[in-house]
Amino acid sequence: MHPSRISLAAAGATIALVGTTLVTATAAPAAPRSQAAQHLPRTYTLKPVGPAADDIFPEGITVHGKRFFVGSTTDGTIYRGNVARKKAKPFLLGGSDNRTSVTGMKVSHGRLFIAGAATGRVFAYDLRSRKLVGSWLVAQTGEPTFLNDISVGAHGAIYVTDSLRPVLYRIPVRKQTTDGVKTLRIFKDFTGSPLQYTTGFNVNGIATSANGKFLVLAQSNTSTLFRLRISNRAVTPVNLHGQLVSGDGLVLRNRTLYAVERQGDVGYIVKIHLAKKLRAGTVLSRTTHPSFNDPTTAAPFRKRLLVVNSQFGERSAGVEPGPFTVSNVRAP
Protein backbone atom coordinates (compact mmCIF):
# COMPACT_ATOMS: atom_id res chain seq x y z
CA MET A 1 0.00 0.00 0.00
CA HIS A 2 1.34 3.43 -0.94
CA PRO A 3 0.78 6.40 1.42
CA SER A 4 0.11 8.85 -1.39
CA ARG A 5 -0.57 9.05 -5.11
CA ILE A 6 2.08 9.69 -7.73
CA SER A 7 1.29 12.43 -10.23
CA LEU A 8 0.39 11.54 -13.79
CA ALA A 9 3.39 13.50 -14.98
CA ALA A 10 5.64 11.29 -12.88
CA ALA A 11 3.88 8.25 -14.27
CA GLY A 12 4.61 9.35 -17.80
CA ALA A 13 8.23 10.02 -16.91
CA THR A 14 8.57 6.57 -15.39
CA ILE A 15 7.12 4.85 -18.43
CA ALA A 16 9.38 6.84 -20.73
CA LEU A 17 12.39 5.98 -18.61
CA VAL A 18 11.87 2.25 -18.49
CA GLY A 19 11.09 2.04 -22.19
CA THR A 20 8.57 -0.76 -21.84
CA THR A 21 5.43 -1.33 -23.85
CA LEU A 22 2.23 0.05 -22.39
CA VAL A 23 -0.59 -2.39 -23.03
CA THR A 24 -4.21 -1.44 -22.46
CA ALA A 25 -7.13 -3.79 -22.13
CA THR A 26 -8.06 -3.18 -25.78
CA ALA A 27 -4.58 -2.97 -27.29
CA ALA A 28 -4.66 -6.45 -28.78
CA PRO A 29 -7.30 -9.11 -29.46
CA ALA A 30 -7.96 -11.19 -26.39
CA ALA A 31 -6.82 -14.79 -26.46
CA PRO A 32 -9.61 -17.38 -26.35
CA ARG A 33 -10.79 -18.03 -22.83
CA SER A 34 -11.80 -21.35 -21.37
CA GLN A 35 -15.52 -21.99 -21.02
CA ALA A 36 -15.20 -21.81 -17.22
CA ALA A 37 -13.33 -18.48 -17.37
CA GLN A 38 -15.99 -16.98 -19.65
CA HIS A 39 -18.63 -17.42 -16.96
CA LEU A 40 -16.69 -15.78 -14.14
CA PRO A 41 -17.66 -12.22 -13.16
CA ARG A 42 -15.24 -9.59 -14.37
CA THR A 43 -15.66 -7.56 -11.18
CA TYR A 44 -16.70 -8.41 -7.65
CA THR A 45 -18.41 -5.94 -5.33
CA LEU A 46 -17.78 -5.89 -1.58
CA LYS A 47 -21.06 -5.88 0.32
CA PRO A 48 -20.58 -3.06 2.85
CA VAL A 49 -21.10 -3.60 6.56
CA GLY A 50 -20.19 -2.02 9.90
CA PRO A 51 -18.86 1.44 10.75
CA ALA A 52 -16.82 1.57 7.52
CA ALA A 53 -19.70 0.46 5.29
CA ASP A 54 -19.26 3.45 2.98
CA ASP A 55 -15.49 3.72 3.40
CA ILE A 56 -14.05 0.22 3.08
CA PHE A 57 -10.91 1.24 1.16
CA PRO A 58 -9.66 -2.35 0.72
CA GLU A 59 -6.01 -3.24 0.24
CA GLY A 60 -5.02 -6.90 0.68
CA ILE A 61 -6.33 -10.04 -1.02
CA THR A 62 -5.66 -13.77 -1.03
CA VAL A 63 -7.25 -16.70 -2.87
CA HIS A 64 -7.92 -20.10 -1.29
CA GLY A 65 -9.49 -22.61 -3.65
CA LYS A 66 -12.40 -20.78 -5.28
CA ARG A 67 -12.76 -18.35 -2.42
CA PHE A 68 -10.99 -15.06 -1.94
CA PHE A 69 -10.57 -12.78 1.07
CA VAL A 70 -10.29 -8.99 1.03
CA GLY A 71 -9.69 -6.64 3.98
CA SER A 72 -10.73 -3.10 4.91
CA THR A 73 -7.99 -0.68 5.89
CA THR A 74 -10.58 1.50 7.64
CA ASP A 75 -12.09 -0.85 10.22
CA GLY A 76 -10.48 -4.28 9.74
CA THR A 77 -13.49 -6.08 8.29
CA ILE A 78 -12.60 -9.18 6.24
CA TYR A 79 -14.79 -9.94 3.25
CA ARG A 80 -15.06 -13.37 1.65
CA GLY A 81 -16.10 -14.00 -1.93
CA ASN A 82 -16.49 -16.86 -4.37
CA VAL A 83 -14.93 -16.44 -7.82
CA ALA A 84 -18.23 -17.55 -9.40
CA ARG A 85 -20.36 -14.96 -7.57
CA LYS A 86 -20.53 -11.21 -7.98
CA LYS A 87 -20.57 -10.14 -4.32
CA ALA A 88 -18.15 -10.69 -1.45
CA LYS A 89 -19.77 -10.72 1.98
CA PRO A 90 -18.43 -10.07 5.50
CA PHE A 91 -16.49 -12.98 6.95
CA LEU A 92 -14.94 -11.35 10.05
CA LEU A 93 -16.40 -8.14 11.43
CA GLY A 94 -14.07 -5.19 11.92
CA GLY A 95 -12.97 -4.25 15.42
CA SER A 96 -13.12 -7.75 16.89
CA ASP A 97 -9.89 -8.99 18.51
CA ASN A 98 -8.54 -5.40 18.21
CA ARG A 99 -8.40 -5.87 14.43
CA THR A 100 -9.11 -2.30 13.32
CA SER A 101 -7.15 -2.10 10.05
CA VAL A 102 -5.79 -4.76 7.71
CA THR A 103 -3.56 -4.90 4.66
CA GLY A 104 -1.85 -8.06 3.34
CA MET A 105 -3.11 -11.58 4.02
CA LYS A 106 -2.41 -15.19 3.08
CA VAL A 107 -3.89 -18.65 3.80
CA SER A 108 -1.68 -21.45 5.12
CA HIS A 109 -2.53 -24.74 6.87
CA GLY A 110 -6.20 -23.84 7.10
CA ARG A 111 -5.50 -20.48 8.73
CA LEU A 112 -5.95 -16.96 7.43
CA PHE A 113 -2.99 -14.74 8.38
CA ILE A 114 -3.64 -11.00 8.38
CA ALA A 115 -1.27 -8.03 8.61
CA GLY A 116 -2.64 -5.22 10.77
CA ALA A 117 -1.06 -2.16 9.12
CA ALA A 118 -0.16 0.62 11.59
CA THR A 119 -1.50 -1.37 14.56
CA GLY A 120 1.63 -3.57 14.39
CA ARG A 121 -0.52 -6.67 14.76
CA VAL A 122 -0.67 -10.00 12.94
CA PHE A 123 -3.71 -12.24 13.35
CA ALA A 124 -4.36 -15.89 12.47
CA TYR A 125 -7.90 -17.24 12.11
CA ASP A 126 -9.13 -20.79 11.65
CA LEU A 127 -11.02 -20.77 8.35
CA ARG A 128 -13.65 -23.26 9.47
CA SER A 129 -14.50 -21.90 12.91
CA ARG A 130 -13.52 -18.26 12.21
CA LYS A 131 -11.90 -18.25 15.66
CA LEU A 132 -8.72 -16.34 16.45
CA VAL A 133 -5.95 -18.90 16.95
CA GLY A 134 -2.84 -16.70 16.78
CA SER A 135 -1.98 -13.11 17.69
CA TRP A 136 1.32 -11.23 17.46
CA LEU A 137 2.49 -7.67 18.08
CA VAL A 138 5.71 -5.91 17.06
CA ALA A 139 8.12 -4.94 19.83
CA GLN A 140 6.96 -1.76 21.55
CA THR A 141 9.97 0.45 20.86
CA GLY A 142 8.06 3.65 20.18
CA GLU A 143 9.05 3.57 16.50
CA PRO A 144 6.28 3.80 13.89
CA THR A 145 5.38 0.56 12.20
CA PHE A 146 3.28 -0.53 9.23
CA LEU A 147 2.85 -4.25 8.71
CA ASN A 148 2.06 -4.38 5.02
CA ASP A 149 2.19 -7.71 3.23
CA ILE A 150 2.55 -11.44 3.90
CA SER A 151 4.09 -14.39 2.06
CA VAL A 152 4.14 -18.09 2.87
CA GLY A 153 7.48 -19.93 2.74
CA ALA A 154 8.09 -23.38 1.28
CA HIS A 155 7.41 -25.16 4.57
CA GLY A 156 4.64 -22.87 5.77
CA ALA A 157 6.62 -20.17 7.58
CA ILE A 158 4.91 -16.76 7.46
CA TYR A 159 6.93 -13.70 6.39
CA VAL A 160 5.64 -10.19 7.11
CA THR A 161 6.98 -6.91 5.73
CA ASP A 162 7.18 -3.64 7.65
CA SER A 163 7.14 -0.52 5.47
CA LEU A 164 8.44 1.81 8.21
CA ARG A 165 10.81 -0.31 10.30
CA PRO A 166 13.81 -1.76 8.39
CA VAL A 167 13.06 -5.36 9.29
CA LEU A 168 11.34 -8.50 8.01
CA TYR A 169 9.41 -10.71 10.43
CA ARG A 170 8.87 -14.47 10.40
CA ILE A 171 6.44 -16.74 12.21
CA PRO A 172 7.83 -20.32 12.15
CA VAL A 173 5.40 -23.05 11.15
CA ARG A 174 5.53 -24.64 14.62
CA LYS A 175 4.62 -21.40 16.38
CA GLN A 176 1.56 -20.31 14.42
CA THR A 177 -0.91 -20.62 17.25
CA THR A 178 -0.63 -18.60 20.44
CA ASP A 179 -2.07 -18.32 23.90
CA GLY A 180 -2.56 -14.58 24.10
CA VAL A 181 -0.49 -12.01 22.19
CA LYS A 182 3.15 -12.88 21.41
CA THR A 183 5.97 -10.64 20.22
CA LEU A 184 6.47 -10.73 16.47
CA ARG A 185 10.06 -11.88 15.95
CA ILE A 186 12.48 -10.27 13.52
CA PHE A 187 13.90 -12.57 10.83
CA LYS A 188 16.06 -10.03 9.02
CA ASP A 189 17.30 -6.57 10.02
CA PHE A 190 18.11 -4.67 6.82
CA THR A 191 20.54 -2.31 8.56
CA GLY A 192 23.87 -2.45 6.72
CA SER A 193 22.40 -4.38 3.78
CA PRO A 194 21.92 -3.09 0.23
CA LEU A 195 18.26 -2.50 1.12
CA GLN A 196 18.30 0.86 2.87
CA TYR A 197 15.14 2.43 4.29
CA THR A 198 14.42 6.07 3.44
CA THR A 199 11.55 8.50 3.99
CA GLY A 200 8.15 7.10 3.05
CA PHE A 201 6.86 3.56 2.54
CA ASN A 202 9.75 1.18 1.95
CA VAL A 203 9.39 -2.60 1.67
CA ASN A 204 5.85 -3.37 0.64
CA GLY A 205 5.00 -6.45 -1.43
CA ILE A 206 6.64 -9.84 -0.91
CA ALA A 207 6.59 -13.15 -2.77
CA THR A 208 8.23 -16.55 -2.31
CA SER A 209 10.06 -18.32 -5.15
CA ALA A 210 8.72 -21.64 -6.45
CA ASN A 211 11.68 -23.55 -4.98
CA GLY A 212 11.22 -21.88 -1.60
CA LYS A 213 14.80 -20.61 -1.48
CA PHE A 214 14.19 -16.91 -2.07
CA LEU A 215 11.91 -14.02 -1.24
CA VAL A 216 11.34 -11.14 -3.64
CA LEU A 217 10.68 -7.78 -2.00
CA ALA A 218 9.37 -4.55 -3.53
CA GLN A 219 10.68 -1.29 -2.09
CA SER A 220 7.95 1.06 -3.25
CA ASN A 221 9.49 4.45 -2.54
CA THR A 222 12.70 3.69 -4.45
CA SER A 223 11.01 1.71 -7.26
CA THR A 224 13.39 -1.21 -6.77
CA LEU A 225 13.19 -4.95 -6.17
CA PHE A 226 15.38 -7.10 -3.92
CA ARG A 227 16.04 -10.80 -3.51
CA LEU A 228 16.50 -12.33 -0.07
CA ARG A 229 18.08 -15.79 0.19
CA ILE A 230 16.28 -17.48 3.08
CA SER A 231 19.13 -19.84 4.03
CA ASN A 232 21.66 -17.11 4.88
CA ARG A 233 19.38 -14.03 4.83
CA ALA A 234 21.59 -12.30 2.26
CA VAL A 235 19.94 -9.43 0.39
CA THR A 236 20.82 -8.44 -3.18
CA PRO A 237 19.20 -5.94 -5.56
CA VAL A 238 17.34 -7.38 -8.55
CA ASN A 239 19.01 -5.83 -11.59
CA LEU A 240 16.26 -4.48 -13.87
CA HIS A 241 18.80 -2.89 -16.24
CA GLY A 242 17.90 0.65 -15.30
CA GLN A 243 14.15 0.11 -15.36
CA LEU A 244 12.00 1.20 -12.41
CA VAL A 245 9.08 -0.66 -10.83
CA SER A 246 7.23 1.03 -8.00
CA GLY A 247 5.76 -2.24 -6.82
CA ASP A 248 2.98 -2.68 -4.32
CA GLY A 249 1.60 -6.23 -4.24
CA LEU A 250 3.61 -9.02 -5.91
CA VAL A 251 2.61 -12.31 -7.53
CA LEU A 252 5.41 -14.71 -8.50
CA ARG A 253 4.74 -17.62 -10.85
CA ASN A 254 7.94 -19.55 -11.50
CA ARG A 255 10.14 -16.79 -12.98
CA THR A 256 7.32 -14.47 -14.04
CA LEU A 257 6.75 -11.69 -11.54
CA TYR A 258 3.62 -9.55 -11.60
CA ALA A 259 3.86 -6.29 -9.68
CA VAL A 260 0.85 -4.06 -9.05
CA GLU A 261 1.89 -0.47 -9.63
CA ARG A 262 -0.21 2.63 -8.98
CA GLN A 263 0.67 5.71 -11.01
CA GLY A 264 -1.71 8.56 -10.15
CA ASP A 265 -5.16 7.81 -11.54
CA VAL A 266 -3.85 4.85 -13.54
CA GLY A 267 -2.92 1.42 -12.24
CA TYR A 268 -0.84 -1.23 -13.94
CA ILE A 269 0.11 -4.86 -13.78
CA VAL A 270 3.82 -4.89 -14.52
CA LYS A 271 5.06 -8.17 -16.00
CA ILE A 272 8.71 -8.98 -15.30
CA HIS A 273 10.75 -11.95 -16.50
CA LEU A 274 13.31 -12.93 -13.86
CA ALA A 275 16.61 -14.68 -14.48
CA LYS A 276 17.21 -18.18 -13.14
CA LYS A 277 18.37 -17.19 -9.65
CA LEU A 278 16.19 -14.06 -9.54
CA ARG A 279 19.20 -11.74 -9.50
CA ALA A 280 18.05 -9.86 -12.60
CA GLY A 281 14.93 -9.25 -14.58
CA THR A 282 13.42 -7.57 -17.63
CA VAL A 283 10.22 -5.55 -17.60
CA LEU A 284 8.10 -6.96 -20.44
CA SER A 285 4.93 -4.88 -20.22
CA ARG A 286 2.66 -2.62 -18.22
CA THR A 287 -0.99 -3.55 -18.58
CA THR A 288 -3.91 -1.46 -17.39
CA HIS A 289 -7.65 -2.15 -17.37
CA PRO A 290 -10.77 0.07 -17.40
CA SER A 291 -11.98 -1.44 -14.11
CA PHE A 292 -8.83 -0.47 -12.18
CA ASN A 293 -9.25 2.23 -9.53
CA ASP A 294 -6.06 2.70 -7.51
CA PRO A 295 -5.18 -1.02 -7.55
CA THR A 296 -2.89 -2.11 -4.73
CA THR A 297 -2.31 -5.83 -4.90
CA ALA A 298 -3.36 -9.03 -6.64
CA ALA A 299 -3.85 -12.73 -6.05
CA PRO A 300 -3.60 -15.47 -8.69
CA PHE A 301 -6.51 -17.66 -9.73
CA ARG A 302 -5.67 -20.09 -12.52
CA LYS A 303 -4.47 -17.92 -15.43
CA ARG A 304 -6.10 -14.80 -14.04
CA LEU A 305 -5.41 -12.18 -11.39
CA LEU A 306 -7.86 -10.80 -8.84
CA VAL A 307 -6.89 -7.17 -8.32
CA VAL A 308 -8.02 -5.00 -5.39
CA ASN A 309 -9.29 -1.51 -6.24
CA SER A 310 -8.49 0.52 -3.14
CA GLN A 311 -9.83 3.96 -4.21
CA PHE A 312 -7.12 5.50 -2.03
CA GLY A 313 -7.06 8.41 -4.46
CA GLU A 314 -10.64 9.26 -3.56
CA ARG A 315 -9.78 9.08 0.12
CA SER A 316 -6.78 11.40 -0.32
CA ALA A 317 -8.85 13.88 -2.32
CA GLY A 318 -11.83 13.78 0.05
CA VAL A 319 -14.04 12.55 -2.78
CA GLU A 320 -16.93 10.19 -2.09
CA PRO A 321 -15.90 6.72 -3.28
CA GLY A 322 -17.97 4.48 -5.51
CA PRO A 323 -18.74 0.81 -4.77
CA PHE A 324 -15.61 -1.03 -3.71
CA THR A 325 -14.60 -3.75 -6.12
CA VAL A 326 -12.11 -6.45 -7.06
CA SER A 327 -11.21 -6.82 -10.74
CA ASN A 328 -10.87 -10.23 -12.39
CA VAL A 329 -8.42 -9.86 -15.28
CA ARG A 330 -6.40 -12.20 -17.42
CA ALA A 331 -2.75 -12.38 -16.35
CA PRO A 332 -0.64 -10.64 -19.02
Average pLDDT over residues 144-148: 98
SS3 per-residue string spanning the chain: CCCCCCCHHHHHHHHHHHCCEEECCCCCCCCCCCHHHHCCCCEEEECCCCCCCCCCCEEEEEEECCEEEEEECCCCCEEEEECCCCEEEEEECCCHHHCCCCCCEEEECCEEEEECECCCEEEEEECCCCCEEEEEECCCCCCCCCEEEEEECCCCCEEEEECCCCEEEEECHHHCCCCCCEECCEEEECCCCCCCCCCCCCEEEEEECCCCCEEEEEEHHHCEEEEEECCCCCEEECECCCCCCCCCCEEEECCEEEEEEEECCEEEEEEEEECCCCCEEEEEEEECCCCCCCEEEEEEECCEEEEEECCHHHHHHCCCCCCCEEEEEECC
Average pLDDT, the chain: 90
Q: What local confidence, expressed as pLDDT, does residue 2 receive?
A: 52
Structure confidence by residue, pLDDT tens digits, 278-331? 999 999 999 999 999 999 999 999 999 999 999 998 998 989 999 999 999 999
**Does 175 reside within a domain?**
yes
**Does 240 reside within a domain?**
yes
**Does 321 reside within a domain?**
yes
Q: What local confidence, expressed as pLDDT, does residue 53 receive?
A: 82
Residues of the chain above pLDDT 70, percent: 88
Residues of the chain above pLDDT 90, percent: 83
* CATH number for the domain harbouring residue 318: 2.120.10.30
Which of 38-52, 89-103, 275-289 shows the lowest per-residue confidence on average (mean pLDDT)? Answer: 38-52
Place 11 in a pLDDT band, splitting at 50, 70 and 90.
Answer: very low
**Does 154 reside within a domain?**
yes
Q: Report how many domains make up the chain.
A: 1
**Does 1 reside within a domain?**
no
**Does 2 reside within a domain?**
no
**Does 168 reside within a domain?**
yes
- 2 versus 315: which is more confidently predicted? 315
Structure confidence by residue, pLDDT tens digits, 194-241? 999 999 999 999 999 999 999 999 999 999 999 999 999 999 999 999
Domain range for 152 is 8-330
Q: What local confidence, expressed as pLDDT, does residue 114 receive?
A: 98
Average pLDDT over residues 85-96: 96
**Does 28 reside within a domain?**
yes
Does position 162 have pLDDT exceeding 90, yes or no? Answer: yes
